[in-house]
Amino acid sequence: MDSGEISIFVILIGLVAVIVAVNFFNSWARRAAWDELAFQNGLIFEPGNYWGKSPSLSGVYRGHSLLLDTFTRRSGNSRTTYTRIVLDVNNHTELRLSISGEGVGSKLKKMLGAKEILVGDEAIDAKFFIQGNPEMAVQRLLSNTGLRQKLLDSHSLHVELTGQRIVYEKRGFEANPENLLYLFDLLGDIGMGVERIE
């Protein structure tokens, strides 16, 4: 090996070391944020490990069982990590609900005949694609002005209520404690509204 090849080898090893160090630091910072969030809200933080088990946060939040974790979806050769929040709720009316941001996917669904529920609030109807059943119960749930304002304050949103669970999913690892607490409160408000529906 001549000195040029050795220099390239050393540079490559250095780049790999930097990438590993940055990934380790980012992972540590995200875990620390979740740990602090758990501590401040009486929840339990499980740190996971670096060999496949993802971190999670669980416990009771505003009277509902809550789980915050990450999972990976594979598509061909690519993998995408998602952050997920699951809130258990007493859905005695078996209401089904899906709220997602308006976008290409919702426009395609509409073109294919998917039924969109309009709630009569121009800002909500413009920002979100809402589906669910029974329609009147969805409209009643979303008539709450506080809940509507929280929805409007969201940056991006994908929430589904199926059976006894409200599930939020977002691409990537959400580490911002303020955003997570906002989402916990939003799901808690949805859960309380679902439980009040007659």
Q: Which two tokens stand for residue 56?
A: 């999670």
**pLDDT in the model for residue 90:** 95
Q: Per-residue pLDDT tens, the chain, 198 aa: give them.
A: 676 677 776 677 777 666 655 555 556 567 788 899 999 999 999 987 766 678 899 999 999 999 999 998 888 888 898 999 999 999 999 999 999 987 766 666 666 667 888 988 899 998 999 999 999 999 999 999 999 999 999 888 899 999 999 999 999 888 899 999 999 999 999 999 999 987
Residue 31, pLDDT score: 77
- Can you give the pLDDT at residue 25? 53
Place of tokens 């969805």: 138
Cα separation of 70 and 120, whole Å? 35
CA distance 34 to 46: 9
CA separation for the pair 130, 2 (Å, rounded):
64
DSSP H or E stretch at residue 169: strand 165-171
pLDDT at 165: 97
Domain count along the chain: 1
Q: What is the span of the domain harbouring residue 158?
A: 3-196
Q: Are 180 and 40 in contact (CB under 8 A)?
A: no
pTM of the predicted model over 0.85:
no
- The tokens describing 128, both together, are 């979100």
* Amino acid at position 135, single letter: E
Rounded Cα gap, residues 68 and 174, in angstroms: 10
Closest CA to 85 of 103, 71, 101, 102: 71
Q: For residues 99 and 130, what is the distance between their CA atoms, to the nearest angstrom?
A: 5
Given this model, what pLDDT does residue 107 score? 64
Predicted pLDDT of residue 7: 73
pLDDT of residue 10: 67
Looking at the DSSP bridge assignments, the partners of residue 64 are 61
